[in-house]
Amino acid sequence: MITFVTTNPGKFREVSAALAPLGVRLRRLDRAYPEIQADRLRDVVTVAAGIVARQVPGEFLIDDSGLFVDALGGFPGVYSSYVYRTIGPAGIVTLMNKEARRGARFETVFLLGRRGRPPRIFRGVCEGSIARTPRGRGGFGFDPIFVPRGSRRTFGEMSVEEKNAVSHRARAAEALARHLGRRLR
């Protein structure tokens, strides 16, 4: 059993659903940890891992995710959580009002750690675009404005299963599951 340290129940639902069919079980620890301000998601989880390793016995999983909008120079990126809390999806749509280029990507970085062991990092990316208006009530965060490549619907209009078929978080979970499968042999 791996302890997923997150205050976000939506992330826990998605990651648990993605890993369960692969035989990986998670338990959620609803605890915040300090996140440094950095330019890369990887740096945020690497610093946090040292703190979490002292607080959580056994294996733990932490993550950082971000929405990177091309026309906004990658903003909000590593600041996605703060931007979500301050201007939300509607604010990003407003910033994009006059933009013809709507390309964006979601990225997730997972860190699997345990005190006394070097951490392992797993990354997932989902390319897509920013919708002209928020659509859907599913998911969380910027899901109502992100349309994954090859779809006409936003993540907010998809079920967890549909989102997990293409999402950045599910791709990071698949990489983690591959690692765990190799390690268990």
139-170 pLDDT, tens digit each: 899 999 999 999 999 999 999 899 989 999 99
Residue 88 has what pLDDT?
96
Q: What is the CATH classification number for the domain harbouring 63?
A: 3.90.950.10
- In 3D space, the residue among 104, 18, 99 whose CA is nearest the CA of residue 63 turns out to be 18
Mean pLDDT score of the chain, rounded to an integer? 92
Strand ranges in 131-176 using DSSP code E only, listed in sequence order: 146-148
Q: What is the mean pLDDT of residues 52-66?
A: 94
Residues annotated as catalytic are: 64
Count structural domains, the chain. 1
pTM of whole model > 0.85?
yes
Structure confidence at residue 123 as a pLDDT band (50, 70, 90): very high
Classify residue 14 as left (phi > 0), alpha (psi -120 to 50) or beta: alpha
Q: How far apart are CA 14 and CA 168, in angstroms?
A: 11
The encoded tokens of residue 107 equal 């990225």
The length of the chain in residues reads 185
pLDDT at 180 over 90: no
Domain coverage including residue 166: 2-184
